[in-house]
Chain A
Amino acid sequence: MDFVNAIILLLNYIFIPALTYGSQLALGAIFVTLIYGILRFANFATGDMMSFGTMATILFTWYFQSLGVSLGVLPTALLAIPFGIIFMIFYMLLIDKFVFKYYRNQKSPPVQFAMVSIGVMFVTQAVVRIIIGPSDRRFFDGEKFIIKAREFKEMTGLNEGLALKSTQVITIFVTIVLVSLLFWFLNRTKTGKSMKAYSDNEDLALLSGIDPKKIVLVTWVIAGILATIGGALYGLDKSFKPFTYFNNMLPIFAAAIVGGIGNPFGAFLGGYVIAFSEILLTYAYKKFFMYVLPESMEPNSLVQLLSTDYKFAVSFSILVIVLIYRPSGIFKGKVL
């Protein structure tokens, strides 16, 4: 019985939260990696673009709520996400037209692109803060829990409860669907294949008649979808605050690089690598050992490898180690 309790404990505090957080990071990391692979620059505006998409979603959520439209047990935001995506794509294309296009035509070095994206970051941050303000916003409605900890205890008679939030299930479900669709698109359709070709060798792709304008357009559309959904899911699960989104850019970058930048599947897995290592290394295992070990061997301390304050530092350290020993990432991205 104690063993089952221990498993439930790990599920509740490590596995499910890490899977949720990892999914949110994975979506962002695929966004970074696509931009890097096809448009060839490190987009420092990632976090803020995600916060822009989330902001649009929140505004539509409020609008629907004021109209009295709702999805019952599901959050209204799910209805608003498609509209948010349209706004996000529109904004990204606008930025691309007025900012990035010029440097693409000039064939500027990636560093210059990165600097320009910092300008975009400042502007986007200002736009988001001016429109919706810098404060914390919760826009979740509908049923909060699928299984409550107390109900679970009563149901199974175990000591440990398992709480399953609906946002966690939604996040994981949406991520799986979206990522499968994306990989199907990239690997099976003609446009997807031409995107891959463009990413591998630009000149060769142009020679074989691939239209670069179309590639760029499709990339931004996919980026808009990923950014908005990733951001909105994070906002639903936790809360929306522009500053947190800016900070999330860092673990997202870490995930993209750990997975091998330019490689979408690597970025997808990288998100989970980062999330699991953050949570595994900062979780206090005292209770787990209390269940597993006999009473005489119970630990006195918290059995915590690192304090939770270092959560971010863990993912960054992993990134630094990967960068030093295997700059192309665990799953071999672009050779840089």
Chain B
Amino acid sequence: MRKNLNVIAAYSIMMVLILMVGIFQSWNIALSIFNLCLISAVMTMGANIQWGYAGLINFGIMGYTALGGLAAVLISVDPVQEAWRAGGFDILMSLWLIVVMVLVIRFILKRFEKSKIRTYSIAAIIISGILLIRFSAEPGIEAIEAVDPAKTGFLGGFGLPIIFSWIVGALFAGGLAFIVGKVALGLRADYLAIATLLISEIVIAIIKHEDWLTRGVKNVIGLKRPAPYEVDLQTTDWFIKLVEKFNAGKLSVIENLADRQAALNQLVIEGSSVFVKLCYSGLFLVVVIILLILTQKALYSPWGRMMRAIRDNEEAANAMGKNVVKQHLLIFILGSAIVGIAGAMLVTQDGLFTPGSYRPMRYTFLIWVMVIVGGSGNNFGAILGGFVVWFLWIEAAPISLFLINFFTAGIPETNALKAHLIESVPYFRFLLMGLGLLFIMRYRPKGILPEKIEIK
């Protein structure tokens, strides 16, 4: 109990801050911050497994998040029968071609000795294969995109409950991580950072522009929900009774019956959106707790000790007979899969998939700030980082507005400088994040809750 005091203190302060937002701003805002904090926490746990446990830099978090989101679309949207009829065959043929191509390359790699001719023939196969696929898929893609482009224009998904996508998202992201890891993990740290960053940009480019699969920048909206809809709740008896019971004190003050009914209606509308958000919070909390238990178990297991050994001294671990390359690949896949879960959760909560909104600032660098600020190598620290940084990211604008008004209180409203500053309030969040990161790196390089390994 004693030694965990700073963990408990840090989390209590965080909870009090979110409660204060609930009391002073609104419960709706507080809960949406809380939900995104939970999603960020999942992402930071994924990044923390890679960076904190194994010392691998992954600047491709954005790509895995987007793949998780794609999984949510592909799982939950109903299949578009017409599009399948129009171009499904061509697409399947192209997929088949890709499989054949991969198999042929694998065969060549296995059968022949490494030589210049082998390299060139593989390159030739890849280039001609891409051209072939492009020309064979072209009519199918055009046909699919022509099917009611305002509403569908893509193949759709499998029409399953969206919750399954959290697992599928992890599989997608893990699959991509397998390929990326095979290709790039041999690189030195800062090269790996650049390579993963650029690969994630390629992933986003594909998701943005392959309309037949993802609808691209036309976005997919109105995804299914694991939680009830607000409109349904507002007409459900038990929910209205629940709201009435909660606000009995407030309602009984109102004498007039019509006024009381109007007040109740208002409360039901507010309550319904809070209730939906609470449902999401519950789901997300379950995921966070399961992942936390698993990652903590892993951290203190022999496997976790081995990972730390590899991180701290690769050569020594190698000499002890540990397969460094394989373990790096494994942990790269695991971490990315967790990020994929977070991506699917994010799209589930929003109910829409907008490929244009995936930007490295928000989905890669911000997550890294969270990991570094929270404390890499410590799961509680990483989660706390997710909470603190997301909270500040959202509340930076109100805080800086307050500060600007406070310090320029003597200056009249018409002053050009003051007006300009107030206008640029949204950008103070970048300043806050940057300064926060720089200060933490300088004065507390291990983060708010540093890594603490005890041998049990």
Contact = CB atoms under 8 A, between A and B. Distances in A.
Interface of A: 41-42, 99, 102, 109-112, 114-116, 118-127, 129-130, 133-134, 246, 250, 253-254, 257, 305, 307, 309-310, 312-313, 316-317, 319-320, 323-324, 327, 336
Given A309-B209, A316-B202, A323-B195, A122 B434 contact: yes
B303 interface: no
A313 B430 contact: no
A107 to B, nearest CB: 14
Interface in B431-454: 431, 433-435, 437-438, 441-442, 445
Contacts of A127: 431
Contact of B184 (A121, A309, A317, A320): A320
A67 B193 CA distance: 46
A312 B209 CA distance: 12
B205 A313 contact: yes
A307 B209 contact: yes
Contacts of B368: 115, 118
Interface in B402-442: 421, 423-424, 427-431, 433-435, 437-438, 441-442
Contacts of B206: 313
Ordered nearest first, which 7 A-B pairs have the shortest CB separation?
Answer: A122-B434, A123-B434, A126-B431, A126-B430, A119-B437, A129-B427, A316-B198
A250 B430 contact: no
Nearest to A41: B190
B201 A119 contact: no
Of A111, A127, A134, A317, most buried by chain B (CB within 10 Å of CB) is: A111
Contacts of A126: 427-431, 434
A253 B431 contact: no
A42 B424 contact: no
A257 B191 CA distance: 9
B188 interface: yes
A205 B176 CA distance: 44
20 contacts: A110-B189, A115-B372, A116-B438, A118-B365, A119-B438, A125-B427, A126-B429, A126-B431, A130-B421, A130-B424, A130-B427, A133-B423, A133-B424, A250-B197, A309-B208, A310-B205, A316-B201, A320-B183, A323-B187, A323-B191
A250 B201 contact: yes
Given A111-B57, A133-B424, A323-B187, A313 B434 contact: no
Contacts of A305: 131
B451 to A, nearest CB: 15
A312 B430 CA distance: 25
Given A114-B190, A116-B438, 8 more contacts: A111-B57, A115-B437, A118-B369, A125-B361, A130-B427, A312-B205, A317-B202, A327-B188
Contacts of A112: 441, 445
A190 B437 CA distance: 38
A129 B368 CA distance: 22
Nearest to B421: A130
B197 A125 contact: no
Nearest to B189: A111
Contacts of B427: 125-126, 129-130, 134
A101 B201 CA distance: 32
**What is the predominant secondary structure among interface residues of chain A facing chain B?**
helix
A312 B201 contact: yes
B442 A253 contact: no
A118 B437 contact: yes
A130 B428 contact: yes
B48 to A, nearest CB: 14
A247 to B, nearest CB: 9
Contacts of B198: 250, 253-254, 316, 319-320
A323 to B, nearest CB: 5
Interface residues of B, number: 42
B442 A42 contact: no
Nearest to A310: B205
B441 A115 contact: yes
Contact of B209 (A310, A319, A320, A324): A310
B437 A122 contact: yes
Contacts of B428: 126, 130
Nearest to A261: B191
Contacts of B433: 122
Contacts of A254: 198
Contacts of B131: 305
A129 B195 contact: no
B199 interface: yes
A129 B430 contact: yes
A104 B197 CA distance: 25
Nearest to B424: A130
Contacts of B316: none
B194 interface: yes
A336 B208 contact: no
Given A133-B424, A313-B206, A317-B202, A336 B188 contact: yes
A120 B421 CA distance: 21
Contacts of B194: 42, 253, 257, 319
Of B187, B190, B208, B433, most buried by chain A (CB within 10 Å of CB) is: B190
Of A120, A123, A253, A310, most buried by chain B (CB within 10 Å of CB) is: A123
Contacts of A110: 189-190
Contact of B435 (A114, A115, A123, A316): A123
Given A111-B57, A129-B427, A99 B438 contact: yes
B189 A122 contact: no
Of B187, B194, B369, most buried by chain A (CB within 10 Å of CB) is: B194
B38 to A, nearest CB: 24
A122 B190 CA distance: 19
Nearest to B440: A119
B367 to A, nearest CB: 11
A118 B372 CA distance: 11
A129 B424 contact: yes
B191 to A, nearest CB: 6
Contact of B199 (A118, A124, A316, A327): A316
B442 A102 contact: yes
A129 B188 CA distance: 33
Of A246, A312, A320, A327, most buried by chain B (CB within 10 Å of CB) is: A320
Nearest to B209: A309
Interface string B161-190: 000000000000000000000011001111
Contacts of A120: 434, 438
Nearest to A125: B430
